[in-house]
Amino acid sequence: MRSHLLITANSQSPAMRSRKVFANAGILFGVLTLVVEGAIPLQAAEFKGDARIGHYSRQVEFKGAYLGQTAGETNNDEQVINLQLKASAEDLNDSGDRFIFDFRDKRDGFGKLERENLLLSNYERRQLRLAAYQRPWESNRTYFTVGRFSLPEANIIANDGAEFGYRTSRSSRYGAFAGQGAKDIIAPLYVDPDTRDISTTQFGAYYNYESKDTPEDSSYLTNAVAQAPTYDITDADSHLYYYQQGLFTFGGNHRIGSLVQFDFAPKSSLRRGYLSYYYQTERLRAGGYLNQTTTEDYLIKQVIQDVLVPSSVRTIDLDARYRLSSAMSVDVSASQGTRTVDGKVRTEYTAGLLFPRVLGDTSSTRLQVGTRQNFLSKDNFTKIAYDYWGATLSVGLSYTLSTEDYDDGTTNKRTIMMVDAGIFVLDDIRGALGYELESDSKVDASALFIMFGYKFGKSASSPRTRPARFEEM
C-alpha cells in the first residue's frame, strides 16, 4: 500500500483546485469577451490548433537494502497522463488580431518518491496556460497582448496582464509588460500552489531583434530587464534580473548561441549562463559551449542514487564530426564540469564512428566508446545506435553498456536500452512512442511514453522525410 507526504500539505482537494482553475479561466474569458465583443466578425476568423494526449509510466524496483526501503518502499513508480489543447482564432480584423488559448491537464497516479516527496499518492494539476487577445507584431508596428500569455522575450512563463510594443523596423521592436504571475503555474509542479507565499507581481521591458533572411543567415536576439518570481522549488523570492538570449547564423558556416540570466536583487548573481560557437562545412562540424547552471537545475535532474548536495555546475564541452567519406564519419568530444559547492569535477571523453545509409538511404548507424571521471565514480561506457527517417515513420534504437567504479570501492554495471519512434498518419494526425529499459546492481527500471496529436485548421505541417544535415553525413 502506498501513501504520500508532500513537503507542503494539500490544503485543498483536487476538485476544489479544479474549480478554482476554471473560475479563473471564466474571469479571463469574461474580460476578453468584453474587449472583443461586438467588434469581431467571428464567422470570418480562421481557426486552427492541436490537441494532444500522452501517457507516461515508469516502474522502478530497488534491489537489496537501498534508498526507500527504510520507509517500507521497494518501488518508485510513476504513471502520468497529460492532456493539452491549443487553439487560436486568427485574422479577426484588418490588423490580423487573434485569440490564443492553451489548456493543460497533468494527472500523476503515483506522485514521486523523492527527497522532497517522501511518499506517494495521486496528484493532478489543471492549468490554463494561455487565454489572450493579441495584435501580432509581425503585421503591425504597434502591437499588444491582453489576458494570460507567455513572454519568452523576458523569460516569463505566464502573465495575467498586458504587453504593449512598437516595431521600429522589419526586424526590431521594443515592448513592455506588467501583470501578475499565475500562481498555479509559478508554483513548481509537485508543490501545492496554495501553500506558496509568492510575490506574483511581474513587470519589465525588452528589446527584440529577429531576422530570417535564409536558414543559413538568420539572427535572433532578445534583451530584457524584468521583475518576477523564479518558478523554482527552493526559491519563492521575487527577482529583479537581466535576461538575454541570442542565436546567430551567418555565412552559412558559423553559428553562435548565448543565454544570460543575471540577478540584480535580492542579490547579485549569475543564475544561468550559456555561450556556444559552431563551425560547419560540408565535411566538418566543430565547436563547443560554456554553460553555468544553478543549484535548482541540479536538484530537478538529481536521481535518488546521487547522494551529493545539489550544486551549481560550470561546464565546458567541445565536440567535432568529420566526414571521412560518403560512407563514414568520425565523432570526438570532451567535456568538463565543476561543482561550485565543493569543487568536485566531472570529465568525459568520447570517440565514435557514424555510418550513413548502411541500412537504407535515410538511416545512420553509430558506434561510440567513452570514459568518464564522474563526481563519485570512474565510468567506462560503450554505445551502439541506429536511426531511420521516413515519410510515415521514424525510429531510433540505442543500447548502452557502462561500468561505474565508485570511490567507496563498489562497482556498478549498468545497461540501458532505448527505443523511440514518430508516426505520421496523413498530415494532421501524429504519434510518438518511447521505451527505455535500464538495469544495474541497484535498480531495475522501465519506462514507456505514448503520445497522439491531432492538428486542425491550417497548422498541420509536412513530416520530415530526410535526416538532419549532419545525420546523413
Q: How distant, in Å, are the alpha carbons of 146, 297, 467 from that of 98? A: 11, 35, 35
Distance (Å, rounded) from C-alpha 416 to C-alpha 233?
30
What per-residue confidence (pLDDT) applies to 305?
67
* pTM of the model as a whole: 0.82
What per-residue confidence (pLDDT) applies to 25?
47
Which residue is listed with cell 510513476? 78
C-beta separation of 471 from 387 below 8 A: yes
Which residue is listed with cell 534491489? 63
Helix (H, G, I), strand (E, B) or coil at 283: coil
What per-residue confidence (pLDDT) applies to 44?
67
Instruction: Find the angle CA(195)-CA(200)-CA(202) to the nearest 5 degrees.
Output: 160
Distance (Å, rounded) from C-alpha 85 to C-alpha 95?
26
DSSP one-letter string for 100-138: EEEEEEEEESS---SSSB-S---EEEEEEEEEEEEE-GG
What per-residue confidence (pLDDT) applies to 164?
98
What per-residue confidence (pLDDT) applies to 45?
78
**In terms of Cα–Cα distance, which of 285, 213, 215, 289 is closest to 252?**
215
**C-alpha cell read off for 410:** 563498489
What per-residue confidence (pLDDT) applies to 357?
83
Which residue is listed with cell 531576422? 211
Look at the chain and count its residues.
Answer: 473
- The sign of the dihedral angle between the CA atoms of 61, 63, 69, 72 is positive
- The sign of the dihedral angle between the CA atoms of 264, 270, 272, 274 is positive
Instruction: Report pLDDT digits (tens) over 225-248.
Output: 999 998 787 787 899 999 999 999
Distance (Å, rounded) from C-alpha 91 to C-alpha 16?
37
What per-residue confidence (pLDDT) applies to 201?
94
What per-residue confidence (pLDDT) applies to 41?
53
What per-residue confidence (pLDDT) applies to 424?
86
What per-residue confidence (pLDDT) applies to 463?
44
Residues of the chain short of pLDDT 50, as ranges, are 1-19, 21-23, 25, 27, 29, 31-39, 67-70, 112-120, 460-473
**C-alpha cell read off for 160:** 495575467
